[in-house]
Amino acid sequence: MNAFTPTSTQAPVLVIDDHPIVLQGCRRVLEDAGIERIAEATSTVAGYRLFFRLRPSMVICDLTFQGSGLAGLDLIRRMRSASPGIRILVFSMHNDPVIVSRALEAGALGYVLKDHASVELFEAFEKVRSGQVYLDRRLATEVAMLRTDPRRTPESQLTPREQQILTRLAQGKSYGAIASDLSVSYKTVTNACSQMRQKLGVRTLAELIHVAVTQAQRQG
């Protein structure tokens, strides 16, 4: 899905999210902000193609896409690499400061949560559009603590379930075996591993297993 209204010479704003209701809500906020050209995409692939073709003035992007985990982080990096001046606002359900920090490191200027009121999205959009960083007070505090407290390592920010999975990866267990051990679905394990890769800043399963083994050795 992609669409935009070519009624102005201004560069469009691109919204990338795989939930139609989110796209509709973003469109209303953007129209209230006076944006006449709005492009929409429901996948990272379609989003990057539109980004490359339209060269938008700004991007509003989710982080999680069905079947692709936190693919939005890689998309942000690619857009930032192709256009270093692009202003990117993340609109996400994830309130984990590790993920927020990763999004900012990838190149986002702002981060706003989907469960907040539309007025906050409007405020975030206006600030990022003007080149300012936007985080709400709580997220800003948590991200600052994460970056300044040496005890708050990325590993320490894993959830108990993620720690359980990481421990079993260190033991050499497969996704299927881990799912059986923890009485969860195979998809739950793969999704957790995808999120852990993003939190820990690694790209492959082999690198994640290396982190798991290293942590197990430190604890041993």
Cα 192 to chain centroid, rounded: 14
The residues facing 199 across adjacent strands are none
Shared domain for 105 and 173, answered yes or no, is no
144 lies in some domain: yes
> Rounded to two decimals, what is the model's pTM?
0.68
d(CA 85, CA 21): 29
Q: Which residue blocks in 6-159 are alpha helix, DSSP H?
A: 20-32, 44-54, 71-82, 97-106, 118-129, 137-148
Q: Are 162 and 132 in the same domain?
A: no
Helix (H, G, I), strand (E, B) or coil at 141: helix
**78 and 117 in one domain?**
yes
Domain that holds residue 182: 154-219
Same domain, 141 and 197: no
Q: Domain total for the chain?
A: 2
| Domain boundary pick from 148, 173, 206 | 148
Q: What is the dihedral of CA 206, 212, 217, 220, to 10 degrees?
A: -150
Residue pLDDT tens, the chain, 220 long: 444 444 444 678 999 998 988 999 999 999 988 888 999 999 999 999 999 999 998 999 998 887 666 788 889 999 999 998 999 999 998 888 878 888 888 899 999 999 888 899 999 999 999 999 999 888 888 887 766 655 555 666 778 888 888 888 888 888 999 999 999 999 888 888 888 887 777 777 777 787 777 776 666 5
Domain stops at, among 132, 148, 164: 148
Which CATH number do you get for residue 163?
1.10.10.10
